[in-house]
Amino acid sequence: MASWGGLSSEARAQRAARADRPTDFLDPAFHRQRRELLRQALPARSVAVLFAAPVRNRANDVDFLYHQNPDFYYLTGYTEPHAVVVLFKEPQTIGGQAGITEALFTQPRDPQRESWTGRRLGSEGAKQQLKLQFSADNKAFATAGIKWADFGQILFLDLPTDVRDDSRDPADLANLVADFRRQAGVPVDYSPELVGLHKLIQRYGATNAATLLPRLEAQSKAVPAVAADAYVQAYRQAATDADRQKAAANRPLNRYDASTLSEVLDVLREVKTPEEIVLLRRAIRISTIGQQEVMKALRPDMSENEVQGLHEFVYRRYGAEFEGYPSIVGAGANGCILHYETNDKPRLGNDLILMDCGAEYHGYSADVTRTAPPSGKFSPAQRQIYELVLAAQEAAFKECKPGSEFQAPHKAAQQVIAAGLLKLGIITDAADVRNYFPHGTSHYLGLDVHDRGTYKPLPPGAVITVEPGIYIPENSPCDKKWWNIGVRIEDDILITATGHENLSAGAPRTVAEIEALMAKPSVLDSFKWPVLK
């Protein structure tokens, strides 16, 4: 790596502003439609403010490769740091221009810095390529003339607080957030947790006190602003349902709202558009090819890190820019750690290897898990646990249809696993299933690997994972033959109008399919690595 020549370390944009790039990114019309749908959902006399993601430092003067806030990307297509987008319910006059409903403030062009850290769009590039109605350099945000005092509600997501302030940049993210807080008058002691609790009390206080009160008690102990809040404490002190209903109805008005915008984005991002599904299909297909090729190459003398590298090489080979999350490649005992990311076991041996890996293609993440025996053959004990997890997944698939409760796949999978573990003698009480299947079966999938959604009945267009698992760590209270067996099978499921489609079906799932694939030659079989001396 070249020295920095006196320039500070800066994030590299995910994609550069040039013609010789892939042509299948989302069209600006997609982002424009998303902005308009969000704007339509805003309350009257309101404004919505979203900030780009912070730059993250890796070490000294080296930053992590920049990754945009998915909400910001969803609404703008902009992939650079130090930016803010503002959406107005009613047209405003901004920067001397009338009739403005959307304004993007971006980092400016800077030829010297761009020669070190990559091309920037700048405000003109953003206007031309991203097609926003109004764009300007981020330095103009403080003087754009936004009349914050005129808005009845100011909506935003949680404001970034762990942001470095570059003293040489008067409009970096730290300054943009500070300018917003100052101009909009956000109180220094503003508590998004408190505003969220106000909403919960108003929404559920009259009907679900048994669940709500313990949460309010815990938050009162942990957050001073909650303990001092009259509305929360009046509700907590109400003695009867009638008193609680009366207390809940007296919610104070607050211009500053860090939860409504998130709720609107949950609804929008839950249902994928056809353009999004195209990108998800590609990310998932790339990931299933990775599972296939790795299974053919697996050997007991390989390391976890080597297996991780093979998956990620396939991703790059087929055009995926990133992994959607840190690859989880755990053999034996490591496969029993749900989010194991160290991946440093030097030899797999004959233990099962759990490979939870997903490519990210143009921002959209796959999430595919397969478990395989490096020897090419499952042992009898491994096979029994594997086929129990597979049966649970099949039961969960049956619940993947429009109108099903979000938790329906999990309940179906959990029931099968509990019955199976009882039959195998691994547990003696069905309630103990949580000891060996401690996680949920599904989450939404999209721009985030754990994507936004409402957790209401499944609608057509939602994409969820179905990932039951069994994990039996050493010293578990069962026969030792089960110890250190960890199995998870995860597929990416599109809810359709009539049922579902398994988008990751290309990766083998059954014992017979896996063993047959592992018996096939790998493209790496004839590759001879030089000896490292």
H or E stretch covering 175: helix 173-184
Q: Is the dihedral of CA 133, 138, 140, 145 positive or negative?
A: positive
Q: Active-site residue numbers?
A: 61, 339, 356, 367, 439, 443, 450, 467, 471, 488, 490
> 484 with 351: CB under 8 angstroms?
yes
Tokens of 206: 């009259």
**Single-letter amino acid code for the residue at 186:** V
Distance of CA 312 to the CA centre of its chain: 19
> 66 with 55: CB under 8 angstroms?
yes
Strands (E), 332-410: 353-357, 359-361, 364-365, 368-372
> 359 with 293: CB under 8 angstroms?
no
Cα angle: 188, vertex 194, 198; to 5 degrees: 135
What's the CA gap between 226 and 217, in Å, rounded?
9
Q: Is the dihedral of CA 315, 319, 323, 324 positive or negative?
A: negative
What's the CA gap between 97 and 515, in Å, rounded?
66
What's the CA gap between 51 and 167, in Å, rounded?
19
